[in-house]
Amino acid sequence: MKKLSIILLLLTGFGFAAKAQHDPSDQIISENWDIIGSVDFKTVKDTEMYAIFGNEIKKHANKPFELEGYIVPIKDGMKQTKFMLSTLPINQCFFCGKNGVPIMVMVELTEPIKFTYQTVKIKGTLKLSTANAMDSPPISLMAGKAL
């Protein structure tokens, strides 16, 4: 649970400052990540933050959606079915906040995939949550499959 809380903090815009910068050539840039990155957040108090979804991302809600990114595991293990997908590799998480915090999406796959440091392509149903983003990810790819 502690790992998920840390990941959620990164997801919602809090990061760790670092003296060095990440390697920008590793960052995944795509139209679909731009759509995900368009989500704003409203902080109500220290323990409450809510996603504000614009029309562009709402058009894709509950529909098939594809993203390429890096696996950020939530649980230990070589095979993963539930993890965060990031625009930056996990070895650059220490640099989050220095050049902007990479948005992350919760992924739940129908079949496990082997953990890799390489990018993976996932297709699933895009789900948007209006729940407190400090408790659960506001953006998910559900019933996903690795491509």
Q: How far apart are CA 24 and CA 89, in angstroms?
A: 11
Distance, CA of 59 to CA of 56 (rounded, Å):
5
Residue where the block lists tokens 């959606």? 65
State the Cα–Cα distance between residues 42 and 131, nearest whole angstrom: 12
CA distance 4 to 73: 9
CB atoms within 10 A of CB 113: 18
pLDDT digits (tens, 9 = 90+) for 82-105: 999 998 887 765 444 444 455 789
Residue 85 near residue 102, CB atoms below 8 Å: no
Query: Among 19-23, 45-49, 51-55, 80-84, whose mean pLDDT is lowest?
Result: 19-23
CATH superfamily for domain 2-146: Nucleic acid-binding proteins (2.40.50.140)
What is the per-residue pLDDT for 24? 67
Whether pLDDT at 5 is above 90: no
Q: pLDDT for 62-78, tens place per residue?
A: 999 999 999 999 999 99
Indicate the domain borders of the chain: 2-146
For the beta carbon of residue 52, count every other beta carbon within 10 angstroms: 11
Rounded to the nearest 10°, the torsion over CA 41, 19, 76, 61 is: 20
Query: Residue 8's CB: how many other CB atoms inside 10 A?
Result: 21
Q: Which two tokens stand for residue 103?
A: 């948005």
In this predicted structure, the answer to whether residue 131 has a pLDDT above a threshold of 90 is yes
Other Cβ atoms within 10 Å of 133 Cβ, number: 23
Alpha carbon distance 15, 97 (integer Å)? 4
For the entire predicted model, the pTM comes to 0.79
